[in-house]
Amino acid sequence: MILSPSLLSSDYGRLADELAALEAAGCKWVHWDVMDGSFVPNITLGAPIIKRLRKASKLFFDVHLMVDRPERYIGDFVDAGSDMIVVHAESTAHVERALAEIKRQGVQCGVALNPHTPLTVLDYVLDQLDMVLLMSVNPGFGGQKFLPFTMRKIEDLSAMIKARGLKTLIQVDGGVDPDNTAELVRRGADVLVSGSAFFGFPPYAERLKTFEAAAAKA
């Protein structure tokens, strides 16, 4: 299990310090929620902030674009130092084109699905994905409750990936905490995104151990 703490719940006034603290705590990934105020209601941060902070961190930058027509910004986020760029299937009419462009620029790619979006939209792109992000809340806000039907969706996606002999990672984002971690991992989740349930319980090293201990029970 890889834990990717979501900076959406961090102290935005101290992002460089937060990244350093995550690294010191033993985290390997960090999740950037990029929101445009159109695809989702809120506005968060953009490529210039990520680019500036890339110089201060060795963490794997897991960048989740919750923006309309993300293909317009792929070059910016590659240049900013993203290690993985995830676009929403619902945000563009040209998902395959966006994924191909991310790959062409040498960055890992993923597709995110909103809770109601069926797995069938992945049929013709799954083979080119490094990761699928399953939203377990409706995107745009932190601190929401986990939607229980996501458990079956994780299991179904895991079966699809295994049937094709792929190594595509499954990421789950929304309402993730130590109480549901074991079940998420048991169903097939590889990467867990946690915001308020992580940042709200310092010290970070101890909170990471709590998640890892829960995952070990899967």
User: Which active-site residues does the annotation give?
Assistant: 33, 173
**Two structure tokens written together for 132:** 């699928």
The pairing of beta strand 60-66 with beta strand 29-35: parallel
Of 110, 170, 174, 171, nearest to 136 (Cα)? 174
Residue that has been written with the tokens 């319980």 in this structure: 201
101-131 core/surface letters (b: 16 or more CB in 10 A; e: else): bbeeeebbbbbbbbeebeeeebeebbeebbb
Mark the binding-site residues for a divalent metal cation, compressed into ranges.
31, 33, 64, 173
Question: 160 — phi, psi (to 5°)?
Answer: -60, -45
Q: How many C-beta atoms surround the C-beta of residue 182 within 10 A? A: 16
Instruction: Say if residues 131 and 191 touch (Cβ distance below 8 Å).
Output: yes
Q: Where are the beta strands (DSSP E) in 56-204?
A: 60-66, 84-88, 108-113, 131-135, 169-173, 191-194
Mark the binding-site residues, compressed into ranges.
6, 31, 33, 64, 140-143, 173-175, 195-196
Contact partners, residue 46, CB within 8 Å, separation at least 6 = 34, 76
